[in-house]
A and B are shown apart, each in its own frame.
Chain A
Amino acid sequence: MIRPDDDEPAVRQPRLLELVERARAQPLPPLRTGSDAILRAVAQRRSARTRAAVIGVVLCAAAAWVLWARAVPTWTRVADEAPLDQAARALDGADAGGEATPRALEVTATPRAPAPSPIPIAPPPIEPVDADSGAQTPVESAVAEPASVASAATLAREAERAMAERRRDDAIGLLARIVREHPRHPAAKAALFDLGRLYRDAGRTDEARCAYQMLVRRWPDGPGSDEVGAVLGALGAGPRCRGLRPIRPARDR
């Protein structure tokens, strides 16, 4: 590219130059616009921008709150479950080892502030030793270590989905896992309610009775305990239970 001369003409065609000069000579029309109108418009635009910014901030804050509200309970539950899961695994280990004598379970937990929970959690009582069966622990059905310990919330969601899709056996399995793997979690209480109902619907009254009995033992004064007592009365007497499983006479096994 050739360096242009600083004084090179902008227009070289004479007739075009005439037109350009005529364009330059156009009379300027009177301007009606005043500064007041412009300042008003500027103020309106600024306030609109401010409103948009405020709305944006509010929306971001709301989105962050929603995310936080969804995430924090999960973290809290996971944190709550950790020592309890250790206890459950300890109990599992004791059962798997087949020890015949009762032994005390020692759980050391670091003190921490209780996490807010919509459902009051009563401290679960120590399960009485089943003298007839030799069972020693409240979570006797936790005989097999699960491949992976899912959170109670996850299991509860899967169980709800299974119930909604009428996959009763799957739902029973998932609810039993909640009771077994997260015995003190609030979800375990709801799981026992649902287990009792599902077992009753399936005609497995002995197992339903076991679920309700465990519920009453663990949460004797919780809401709904009267109804559970009434259902247990309606179910009548039955075999003793080891956790969720009825202990049938040897010939039935």
Chain B
Amino acid sequence: MQDGGAELLIAAAQRGDASAMSELFAAHRQRVARQILRMTGDPTSVDDLVQEVFIAAFTALAGFRRDAQFETWLHTIAINKVRNWWDARRRREIRERDAIGGGPNEAQNPEQDALAAEHLRRFYVALGALPDKLREAFTARALDHLSLVDASALLGVPVSTVSYRTRRAEELLCQALDLPPPAGRDAEGK
């Protein structure tokens, strides 16, 4: 449930009030942008995705039920947009790989030769290779620091499912990044 001011703002935006929409955008865009950056790891795509998220949100605003959290609703839209973004990126990488006949793209920018940047790049490559559901659970829990309960509400699945998907995603990421498996796997029922 929103607080009173936010609820009035959303109600005005639902009636088509442009200034209310602008206020909503200003209030939420940084948080949405940060979520998108964490989910994608690609600063160049953040602007476009933020725009897509808010266009989709304002277009569908009439259907938003005010008993839900507006932030959570926006986050859900962002997750869907990022999911599409990962799909498109995978397809583009496959096309490029087919076109040049080589392996995965190596860093083109000398700045990315720095070890830290390279590790981060590899991390996002591995994250992008995860199945959507595992990636979204891991992103919500690890990158967005949501609690199990909040991630469960966001993703619309039980807490135990979020937990399992996060752990499974962690295992797969460790494999992809040549890291030792995480400790405490024995406690997990697959």
Contacts and interface: CB of A to CB of B under 8 A. Distances in A.
Given A13-B182, A26-B38, A35 B148 contact: no
Nearest to A29: B43
Given A16-B182, A28-B30, A38-B54, A22 B120 contact: yes
B34 A19 contact: no
Given A29-B43, A39-B22, A10 B124 contact: no
B1 interface: no
Contacts of B119: 19, 22
A42 interface: yes
10 contacts: A3-B160, A4-B148, A6-B149, A12-B170, A16-B182, A28-B34, A31-B50, A35-B21, A38-B21, A45-B55
A20 B41 CA distance: 11
B50 A33 contact: yes
Contacts of B141: 10
Contact of A39 (B21, B34, B50, B148): B21
B142 A11 contact: yes
Nearest to B124: A23
Interface residues of A, number: 32
Most buried by B among A12, A29, A33, A41: A33
A39 B51 CA distance: 10
Contact of B173 (A2, A16, A46): A16
Contacts of A19: 119-120, 123, 177
A70 interface: no
Contacts of B189: 1-2
A15 interface: yes
Nearest to B178: A15
B147 to A, nearest CB: 7
A41 B53 CA distance: 12
Interface of A: 1-4, 6, 8, 10-13, 15-16, 19-20, 22-24, 26-29, 31-33, 35, 37-39, 41-42, 45-46
Contacts, number: 119
B9 interface: no
A41 B21 CA distance: 13
Contacts of A37: 51
B59 A45 contact: yes
Given A33-B50, A35-B21, 8 more contacts: A2-B189, A11-B142, A19-B119, A19-B177, A23-B38, A28-B43, A31-B46, A42-B59
Contacts of B148: 4, 6, 8
A32 B43 CA distance: 12
Contacts of A33: 29, 47, 50-51, 54
B37 A16 contact: no
A22 B34 CA distance: 13
Given A12-B184, A13-B180, A42-B59, A23 B33 contact: no
A38 B51 contact: yes
Contacts of A29: 37, 43-44, 46-47
Interface string B2-30: 00000000000000001001100110011
A67 B51 CA distance: 45
Interface in B41-68: 41, 43-44, 46-47, 50-51, 54-55, 58-59
